[in-house]
Structure 1
Amino acid sequence: MRQWYRRFAPYFLVAVIGALIGGSLVVGCAGPAPANPNAKNGLLKPNTAEASISDARNTPIVRAAQKISPTVVGITNKAYARDFFNRKVLVDQGQGSGVIFDSQGYIATNNHVVENAQEIIVTLLDGRTFPGKVLGADPATDLAVVKIDGASDLPVAEFGDSDQLLVGEPAIAIGNPLGVEFKGSVSAGIISALNRSIDIGERRFKLIQTDAAINPGNSGGALVNADGVVVGINSAKISVTGVEGLGFAIPINTARPILQTLIEKGKVVRPYLGVSIVDAKTARQYGYTDAEKGLFVAKIFEGTPAAKAGMKLGDIILKVAGVDINSIADLRSVLDSKALGSRVDVIIIRDNAQRTVSVVLEEMPSEEK
């Protein structure tokens, strides 16, 4: 019995010690533990729950932002000014955004972003900067094209079809709110409405309305759908007390031909009548007419389409090409939709009688734009 105890006592002692310290000695004696399938290089892989979170993050908005963000640039508008010592220096006049739409360095932006610029600096998402040149601008649609040279491997945005947009579908605005310090900012919302008409100056704009946040500096940036294609160029934001989430973009189907024309010609050629006009309400206040609607012709310019067609001072324009005309924006909108050389019927009131004048539209001289 004593011999049996002496023989097996060491093994009992090892077993007791192993139990007290958590079995580490037993495991050590038993050989290496089986490999953890979730371990790699000393780190644990995400479990199934964590993997599903990663999948959830891969949303259409994330994919659209990753696709388009590299194509959105910052544009700094510089102009000369006098400093405290009356020296001529270049200063920042404003900042905005742009969208690269051609690998040769063509960038779409807003006219007001580059207006009166004496130097343009373009900043890419990766931090590279290039001098830019304004190839052409169109104040009537607030569009412009900037060109940069010497840039390689430029990402290019894909333009979509804004005519296929649906109210309520996702909309992503990408730009540089408040300047290049916030470059590549992404805000998301929905397409709130289509074909919204707003009057800016003498022009009427047909715009996409969205509640995606568009702030100063976003102008000229991209409005993108869930497929990651550009459907609009961010242009204006109504900032009125009590009004939030009301942003606008120029439909890309409207912008596309204008951008191409700006590249080819540096300007957009538009037809005109060749008259100075005021609305009937204003003319009535000054006693020029008693008309309740239409536009009062205050001046006829010699050699213009209106003069050639026989229009006269004091005529009241009621309709052009079948469209009621009650504001300068109405007239601009109709004329902009017509081709040079086309003939349009202008219904006027003269000597209290209604008559029709046929006008052949010609190119508006550049000095009168």
Structure 2
Amino acid sequence: MLEQEKNQAPGKQPAGKKHRFLPLVLVAAGLIIAAGWLLQALPEVQKKPQINLFNSSGSITPKLVNQEAEKQAANPVVSIAQKMSPAVTGITSIPTDGLLSRTGDEVTGSGVIFDAQNGYIVTNNHVVEGASRILVTLADGREIPAEIIGKDSHTDLAVLQVKAPNLIAATFGDSDRVSVGETAVAIGNPLGMRFARSVTVGVISGINRKLSGDEGSAYPLLQTDAAINPGNSGGALINSRGEVIGINSVKIAMPGFEGMGFAIPSNQVKQVIASLIQHKEVVRPALGVTLKGEVTAEAAAYYHLPVDYGVVIEVHPTSPADKAGLRHMDIIIAVDDQVIRTAEEIRTAISQHQVGDTVQVKVIREKRAIGRDAYEEMVIPVILGRLEG
């Protein structure tokens, strides 16, 4: 047998040895194929979690997007603050000094951008009153000098202008549609720029609130319990739709009075700022009197007045009322046949006229020559002058 093996042709293997290696070859081939399949399948496994995060358009699926939407829906103040804060500015009024330098005596307040293209900002008159220089601080940190376009002390409003690109303006709503109890969001800079664009939330506590001044300047105000502190003056009062419904102006800070903030209604603001831009001021007609008080039934009975209504006046020297013959302590009971019971009714009646118009003022006057408790009624024509101040 050994001799036979030696005599076999070179290069030929015995039949038994050839079949002995075949299973090993098949196993190795199978391992190679399996490894290749795993290498191809592995990226697909890694991609599956990512595929579930996107929809067919390649954008995030609603489950992820809706997390932010759900947060804003649960608390709309979040979206209001995000939308409106860039339109609220800081206002720094620097008083007159020789070097026009920052002295530490600055008055700080807030403002609202209402015209981004022209750089117009509305704020309170008392914030910029007496300033020699005004700086506006924007939400992105820019500090820009501002010019006073016009101001009106009677409504406590002023319009400023800055020259700057990329401004964001607020949207003004209809304050006549405001209802008691609806959400009110105040944005401003209480206590200065350290607390810039602070957001406080409350409700509309009242509408048509009036804080009286001379000449019947008892303009209607919105009342809110949203916190309004020093520095908030000139900031925005915003409704749930993200619209400015008022410019914050007055804060009662007296013992026993908490949560009483006031704002100038947006419809009145729009009228005033339009006049300030066009005329640099608001021109109003005036009688030239101070309204001392309203006649009550009790006062009428005590003084034996012939009427139990009307407004007692004090006449300003050289005013239209003085020139026409009105006197101190006259009681106005009608203007142009419109019965007058309150100071607000006088303001409304006069505001319907222009400077130079003649109004018929009916008064009750004490007959001094006869003595106390004797009165006469008379109608005096008055040519309206211009409200100063």
The answer to whether TM tops 0.5 is yes
- 38 and 359 in structure 1: CA distance in 2 versus 1, 3 angstrom threshold: farther
Tell me the distance in 2 between the aligned counterparts of 1:223 and 1:277: 31
Matched letter for residue 189 of structure 1:
G
1:221-232 equivalences under 5 Å are: 221-232=235-246
Q: Which of 349, 358, 362 is equivalent to 2:381?
A: 358
1:34 matched to 2:45? The reply is yes
Is residue 315–residue 326 contact of structure 2 (8 Å, CA) maintained in 1?
no
Aligned partner of 2:170 in structure 1 is: 157
CA gap of 1:119–1:333, structure 2 versus 1, over 3 A, is farther
Give me the CA root mean square deviation: 3.6
The alignment status of 1:65 with 2:84, answered yes or no, reads no
Superposed, which structure 2 residues align to 1:192-271 within 5 Å? 192-199=205-212, 203-271=217-285
Aligned partner letter, 1:355? M
- TM-score, with length taken from structure 1: 0.75
C-alpha change, 1:305 and 1:234, in structure 2 (3 Å) is same
Which residue, out of 319, 329, 332, partners 1:317? 332
SS at match of 1:118: strand
Equivalent residue pairs, number:
327
Asked whether the 8 Å contact 1:79–1:92 carries over to 2, the reply is yes
Structure 1 residue 334, shift from structure 2 partner: 4.7
Distance 1:223 1:342, change over 3 A: same
Aligned to 1:340: 355
**What secondary structure does 2:220 align onto?**
strand
**More strand, by proportion:** 1
CA deviation after TM superposition for structure 1 residue 57, in Å: 1.2
Q: Is 2:159 the counterpart of 1:145?
A: yes
Asked whether 1:95 is paired with 2:108, we answer yes
Query: How far off its partner does 1:262 sit?
Result: 1.1
* Equivalent pair of 2:121/2:159 in contact (CA under 8 Å): yes
Superposed, which structure 2 residues align to 1:95-174 within 5 Å? Answer: 95-102=108-115, 103-149=117-163, 151-174=164-187
The alpha carbon displacement at 1:36 in A equals 6.9
> Are 2:320 and 1:305 aligned?
yes
Percent identity, aligned pairs only, is: 42
Q: CA, structure 1 residues 197+337, in 2 after alignment: closer, same or farther (shift >3 Å)?
A: farther
State the Cα deviation string for residues 285-339 of structure 1 (Å, max 9, x = none): xxxx98697555555644x432454434563334445353666x77556534543
Deviation at 1:217, TM superposition (A): 0.8
Q: How far did 1:80 drift?
A: 3.6
* 345-354 vs 70-79, greater mean Cα deviation: 345-354
* Distance in 2 (alpha carbons) for counterparts of 1:258 and 1:162: 14
More divergent stretch after superposition (268-277 vs 162-171): 268-277
User: Matches of 1:314 and 1:30 in 2, distance apart?
Assistant: 101
